[in-house]
Chains A and B, each alone.
Chain A
Amino acid sequence: MTSTTLTPDRPAISRRPVRSGRPLTRVSGLGLGVAMLWFSLLVLIPLAAVVVTASAGGWSSYWQAVTNEQTAAAIELTVGTAFLVTLLNIVMGTMIAWVLVRDRFFGKRALEILIDIPFALPTIVAGLVLLSLYGKTSPLGIDIANTPKAVFLAFLFVTLPFVVRTVQPVLAELDRDVEEAAMSLGASRFTVFRRIILPSLTPAIAAGAALSFARGVSEYGSLVLLSGNLPLKTEVASVRILSSIENDNYDIAAAVATILLAISFIVIVALDVIQRRMVRRG
């Protein structure tokens, strides 16, 4: 398997607590304590602070904050675009994974590296990169900067690796004998794909789609230069939160942030369920 690298998710699938672990010793117990203290100070307490701040003003002020016209438009754009991008990623990601695993041609290694670039590239640089081909000075004459299409493009770029990298390892380990048996019994290639390959890939595709959706919804950096952050038009949820922070409206910022946190929490739960199903299938 030449599948490389930045695999945001391959480990996610194989990571699960092993039941046969030893009970904690004194040293490992202390280690766990220190690790938990650090994790709490860095991640858990700050995230809890967001939820506490959002709920401090009561339900009505929370509702007012998230249904504000500009905020609601930003959330709708973010979630809607992330959804569309995820649909496209399901199709393109599966195709790319298929090419990487089943096809052989000169330069395939370069494709592997291209897939990982969006994951490693700083998001602000990703925005600049897209702007140079799809902005004002585009050599193609396509200028979509400061339009909702720019948001779509930016999401598409940053979420590229997720479906590819979850589907690829599963596809690589698929048993080909079943496919050959089906074909020798007269099944067409399309039937083989639909009845044999696709069902085994579905959990991996779902896991990749969930990650891609979560990444899209939380995107910020690549949009800064590309989308212009026009209110009601190209402004996404993260930008709304940032402008509330800059105006010292931490309550409103926290209220909008809880929606993003809820989405990422749902995605984590969904991933956990999908992974358990994949494990059961073996």
Chain B
Amino acid sequence: MASHPSTRTRRGPVTYLVRLIVIVYLFFLVAWPVYLVGKNTFADGMDNINSIIEDPDIVHALSLTVQVAIIAVIINTLFGVGISILLVRYDFPGKRLLSALLDMPLSVSPIVVGLALILVYGGRNGWFGPGLESMGFQVIFATPGIVLATVFVALPLVIREVVPVLEEVGEEQEQAARSLGANAWQTFLRITLPSIKWGVVYGVVLSLARSLGEFGAVKVVSGNVLGETRTATLVVEEKYLNFDKGGSYATAFLLALVAVACIIIVSVIRPKEDR
């Protein structure tokens, strides 16, 4: 392509102007602000980082965040792979509607997600909440509520990665395996899973990033109790509003580090897949 004559004619002044506009825009909107958070975190050397690592409440919040994210990712991966196979390989009434509804969590406000969960699982006057609570199972203002909210917001991510891969690999190998006598489970394990492996990996990494960072929905359902149901993103808000900017920046820095690591992991693996 590079030696193609018309490629060179395209590199007129407009090309450089557009390139410049894009770089300046992204620099001021993303690059510089993100860099400043890193800079503010380490303004006093390692003090900010040390102060949050030594605070048992923050360590609790961080470990709660990680646990919730892992549970949410496992649930969404099982559900996502299952429903993707059903959507792509099977025919059933209402399939198109279901496919559209599965995207709903991406465009619903996190606050509405929290409200919806409270209205159903709230202990006082939710639809199912009082019943569950009389059986000794508290959802809202407890860890199960945080898990539900996190699963909700990250629900479509695995499906969005796996469905196109499933469509692209087609069904021939699965049919061949089945005609040679493999049962459904063997076909899934030996044929389907290896072929959608990377789609699942991207989906998992994206869900992990999303789950670790959920804020609004978790804020509504968690009750935000220090040392119990306060997650890492809630710590960032709380510290900032209480004028502990160092602690706020340090926690935000840790979260941003994980998010950026997830992006880099995905962008490093993906091109090998994309032909």
A189, B12: Cβ atoms closer than 8 Å: yes
Partner of B104, one of A47, A92, A103: A47
B216, A5: Cβ atoms closer than 8 Å: no
A15, B160: Cβ atoms closer than 8 Å: yes
B236, A125: Cβ atoms closer than 8 Å: yes
Binds B, one of A65-73, A198-206, A212-220: A212-220
A272, B100: Cβ atoms closer than 8 Å: yes
Q: In the complex, which of the residues A49, A96, A160, A238 has the most CB atoms of chain B within 10 Å of its own CB atom?
A: A49
Question: What residues of chain B lie closer than 8 Å to A245, measured between beta carbons?
Answer: 111, 114-115, 118, 220
Given known contacts A124-B233, A217-B109, is B83 in contact with A118 (CB within 8 Å)?
no
Question: What residues of chain B lie closer than 8 Å to A4, measured between beta carbons?
Answer: 263, 266-267, 270-271
Binds A, one of B33-41, B44-52, B54-62: B33-41
Q: Mark B94-132, 1 if CB is under 8 A from A, else 0.
A: 011011111111111111111111111100001100000
Asked if A16 CB lies within 8 Å of chain B CBs, one says yes
The CA of A32 and the CA of B113, in the complex, are separated in Å by: 24
Question: What residues of chain A lie closer than 8 Å to B117, measured between beta carbons?
Answer: 46
Q: Mark B249-275, 1 if CB is under 8 A from A, else 0.
A: 100100110011011101100110011
The CA of A139 and the CA of B82, in the complex, are separated in Å by: 50
Question: What residues of chain A lie closer than 8 Å to B151, measured between beta carbons?
Answer: 42
With CB as the reference atom, state the residue of chain B lying closest to A46: B116
B108, A261: Cβ atoms closer than 8 Å: yes
Interface size on A, residues (CB 8 A): 107
Question: What residues of chain A lie closer than 8 Å to B37, measured between beta carbons?
Answer: 125, 128-129, 132
Asked if B92 CB lies within 8 Å of chain A CBs, one says yes
The CA of A121 and the CA of B102, in the complex, are separated in Å by: 23
Asked if B88 CB lies within 8 Å of chain A CBs, one says yes
Question: What residues of chain A lie closer than 8 Å to B10, measured between beta carbons?
Answer: 102, 189
B6, A183: Cβ atoms closer than 8 Å: yes
Asked if B189 CB lies within 8 Å of chain A CBs, one says no
The CA of A160 and the CA of B36, in the complex, are separated in Å by: 19
Q: Mark B210-235, 1 if CB is under 8 A from A, else 0.
A: 10111110011000000000000100
A250, B89: Cβ atoms closer than 8 Å: no
Cβ < 8 Å to B, chain A residues 1-52: 1-8, 10-12, 14-25, 27-28, 31-32, 35-36, 38-39, 42-47, 49-50
Which A residues fall within an 8 A CB radius of B?
Answer: 1-8, 10-12, 14-25, 27-28, 31-32, 35-36, 38-39, 42-47, 49-50, 53, 92, 95-96, 98-99, 102-105, 109, 111-118, 120-125, 128-130, 132-134, 139, 156-157, 160, 176, 180, 183, 189, 211, 214-215, 217-221, 224-225, 237-239, 241-242, 245, 250, 253-254, 257, 260-261, 264-265, 267-269, 271-272
A116, B215: Cβ atoms closer than 8 Å: no
Q: Number of A-B pairs whose CB atoms are under 8 Å?
A: 313
B86, A43: Cβ atoms closer than 8 Å: no
Given known contacts A99-B19, A183-B6, is B236 in contact with A124 (CB within 8 Å)?
yes
A237, B266: Cβ atoms closer than 8 Å: no
Asked if B26 CB lies within 8 Å of chain A CBs, one says yes
The CA of A27 and the CA of B85, in the complex, are separated in Å by: 12
B104, A21: Cβ atoms closer than 8 Å: no
B118, A6: Cβ atoms closer than 8 Å: no
What's the nearest-Cβ distance from chain B to residue A28, in Å?
Answer: 6
The CA of A87 and the CA of B142, in the complex, are separated in Å by: 41
The CA of A35 and the CA of B113, in the complex, are separated in Å by: 19
